């Protein structure tokens, strides 16, 4: 586990609670050693760039849960058959987060979407948050994160947006590359057209996957 002495009392408790939660959720699938390894490495992914360290255990728990779910599918230890789509860009702060928001809104529980970045930023782009809020989609709970091999391998479709050669490649997997303007540094007026284009691309992808859009 991370050095607990560097955390507040509340954060230490939250991290221990996270380990217990994951152990209960993945009982019979992964042992405590694997769960603590994934929680530790997930914690380390955010520790160097987190603005508020008290949020680290929560971010680590959420990311570890996603990674363990992906690993379970890759290893054939459990999957409900629901398609998984992974959206990747550079900072995981704008385009991929808007795509994630649209996908979750339109697909509901009929599919799963994840996102990641080759160079994750510190926070989600404020203009992207505001533009999505205008169409009733809240992405304020999302956070920039990297991708890992098990997450990419578990995805049925990998959608890339500007990460170029940094994007991971696994033979035999379905890839799509969406050429979209980067919203970084743009105001809400400039982000709206990007948001709307992403909506149309997500709707088209859902149609191809034979998933009814809400």
Active site residues: 89, 163, 167
> Cβ distance 80 to 34 under 8 Å?
no
């Amino acid at each position: 586990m991370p050095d607990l002495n560097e955390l507040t009392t509340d954060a230490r408790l939250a991290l221990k609670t996270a380990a217990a939660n994951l152990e209960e959720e993945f009982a019979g699938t992964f042992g405590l050693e694997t769960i603590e390894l994934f929680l530790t490495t997930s914690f380390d992914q955010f520790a160097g760039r987190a603005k508020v360290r008290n949020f680290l255990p929560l971010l680590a728990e959420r990311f570890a849960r996603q990674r363990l779910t992906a690993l379970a599918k890759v290893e054939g230890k459990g999957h409900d058959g629901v398609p998984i789509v992974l959206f990747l860009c550079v900072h995981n702060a704008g385009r991929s987060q808007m795509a994630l928001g649209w996908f979750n809104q339109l697909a509901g529980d009929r599919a799963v979407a994840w996102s990641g970045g080759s160079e994750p930023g510190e926070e989600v782009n404020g203009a992207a948050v505001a533009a999505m809020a205008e169409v009733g989609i809240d992405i304020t709970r999302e956070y920039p994160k990297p991708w890992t091999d098990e997450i990419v391998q578990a995805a049925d479709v990998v959608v890339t947006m500007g990460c170029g050669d940094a994007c991971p490649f696994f033979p035999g997997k379905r890839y799509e590359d969406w050429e979209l303007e980067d919203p970084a540094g743009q105001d809400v007026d400039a982000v709206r057209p990007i948001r709307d284009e992403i909506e149309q691309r997500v709707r088209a992808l859902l149609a191809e996957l034979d998933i009814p859009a809400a």
